[in-house]
Amino acid sequence: MDIRRYMYSPVQNLAVWVAAWLAEVEPTDSLLGAFRDIGGSHEVVGGGELTDLLRMMRAYGVSHRRRSLAATGETPSTWFELPLVSLLMAGPGQAPVTPASAEGAVIARALVQGDLGGLAVHGIGQSLYLVPEEKDGAMVWSVFETKDAPRGVAPLLPGDADHALAESTRNAALQIDAAGYRFPDSTRIDPLLTVGTLTDYYDLPGVPETTPVRATQLFARADRVSAIIETLLDRVGDHSLDPYLLPLWAHIRNARIAGVDYAAREWFKRAGRNQ
């Protein structure tokens, strides 16, 4: 079983770049570079290139929301009702946050069957869901547009997500230590010290320099715990630690989702204050 798909999504950093771009914090050239660095070449199901994907997302940017608010006469509070961009991840015991509709079920199925996660770009009264799949060295995006509101549990606040991941990691480490598990060479397992070069995989490539520190801290903790889990399972070579490690997967996903949500909201708040 490929456990990495349940703990990590390359779409995480793309979602951060998209949020910064839609909030008019980062230029288009930087976003294009990030897409190419993270996913290589990009295509859209049914025909289309990366520029077409950006054009579809651009319609959900801050400029569009300003025009929508002006046209509807809604209160400024509407500006903050949805984040600009959401990271979509799913795993055992955790369904992806998608609309409660037939189309939402199609989106959820695509996310569950895929290995890369996805992202949603929200406007006022409608959302754009983008779910990638790797094919022949390219990242091919399925695009779904819906007016149905997303359903599911809202992302955690950064502090809550960080605390939950830190506590669950410590508890798992204490339980493994108390059980006296050892590696095949008979050395005692110390989960908090067992981490190798896998962190290099999770660290690259990066997010915009303007990304809020609390978001990058969440990503860093999620990366480290993911690397610890992969290293442990690789060295142990069996599933004896699964009862202790599998519950961490949801906390890792929640931390990544919360980090993207926080970064998007912070950039969007600044854009809202400048409207």
Domain ranges of the chain: 4-153, 158-256
Confidence of residue 174 (pLDDT cuts 50, 70, 90): confident
Radius of gyration of the chain, Cα coordinates, nearest whole angstrom: 19
Most confidently modeled range among 79-83, 95-99, 237-241: 95-99
Residue 95 has pLDDT above 70, yes or no: yes
Average pLDDT in the chain: 84
d(CA 45, CA 35): 17
Confidence of residue 63 (pLDDT cuts 50, 70, 90): confident
List of residues 6+ apart from 135 with CB closer than 8 A: none
d(CA 240, CA 108): 31
Among 116-130, 137-151, 196-210, where is mean pLDDT lowest? 196-210
d(CA 212, CA 273): 17
pLDDT tens-digit readout, 9-48: 989 999 999 999 999 999 999 999 999 988 788 999 988 9
Rounded percentage of the chain residues whose pLDDT exceeds 70? 83
What confidence score (pLDDT) does residue 196 get? 46
d(CA 157, CA 159): 6
d(CA 78, CA 257): 22
What confidence score (pLDDT) does residue 150 get? 78
- In the chain, the amino acid numbered 58 is R
Most confidently modeled range among 68-77, 185-194, 200-209, 220-229: 220-229
> Which has more confidence, 146 or 124?
146
d(CA 68, CA 238): 55
Confidence of residue 269 (pLDDT cuts 50, 70, 90): confident
